[in-house]
Structure 1
Amino acid sequence: MISLKEKINSSLKSLPKGKLTTYKSLAKKFDSHPRAVARILATNRDKSVPCYKVIRSDGKLGGYNKLLGKSKEQLIKEDRTS
């Protein structure tokens, strides 16, 4: 059985450039809770998973662990322009 973490990571890796998603939509997609999604992303150490693409459902950026050494805002901007 695939873990929630693996499902989330796979979903984020398949997001097209410039696209964002929310904690809430990921939680709904995988029958979970937004806080569970946030907890998984907060502890992520895999640089290939674009955690910065997950924002709050109210449009605010939310937290980010700065795994890539840049702010969430910077990474989103770069993703949209590349």
Structure 2
Amino acid sequence: MKKKLSFKEKVWTAAKFIPPGKVSTYKEISRIINQPQAFRAVGQALNKNKNLYPPKFSGKILAGEKIPCHRVIRSSGFIGGYVKGQREKIRILKKEGVQIKNCRIDLKRFCFIFGSKNIRRFGKLK
């Protein structure tokens, strides 16, 4: 029998699906894990993540090792918080190709939406 994932493990698993050059929102992650009102708790779970990308991000994702918390932002497009600070979050996102203006990201252009293919993978998260 498979171990049931905790709330934070579900959040971290969802964050791993966001590709470089894209972002998602706290609200979208709360929706995909079937906790649509828990967007603030999503932010708290991401803040507890210890598997951050290294400060000198190389652009390579090591499967299963790093959780890209920096790719999760507010629904307004505002950058939001980051355990290493907003400046570092902006630096990493820019290095991945995300354009930021006045601490905001154009969600129409850069937002990753979990599609039906990904949602099937998330069946275990609900």
TM-score when normalising by structure 2: 0.57
Residues of 2 paired with 1:27 and 1:13: CA distance? 14
Structure with bigger helix share is 1
Matched, 1:60 2:63: no
1:72 maps onto 2:96 in alignment: no
CA contact (8 A) 2:73 2:79 kept: yes
Structure 1 vs Structure 2: percent identity of aligned residues? 37
| Structure 2 portions without partners, runs of 5+ | 53-65, 99-126
CA shift, 1:2, in A, is 1.3
What pairs up with 1:1-82 in 2 under 5 angstroms? 1-32=4-35, 33-47=38-52, 48-66=66-84, 71-80=88-97
Alpha-carbon distance in structure 2 between the residues aligned to 1:73 and 1:16: 16
SS at 2:84's partner residue? coil
Gaps (5+ residues) in structure 1? Answer: none
- Contact 2:12–2:67, Cα closer than 8 Å, also in 1: yes
Count of residues in correspondence between the two structures = 79
CA distance in 1, matches of 2:49, 2:21: 21
Hey, which bits of structure 1, 4+ residues long, moved more than 6 A? none
Question: Deviations for 1:26-63, whole angstroms, at most 9, x for unmatched residues?
Answer: 01111221111011011211121110000000000000
* CA distance, structure 2, for counterparts of residue 45 and residue 19 of structure 1: 21
Bigger radius of gyration, 1 or 2? 2
Give me the TM-score of the superposition, normalised by structure 1: 0.85
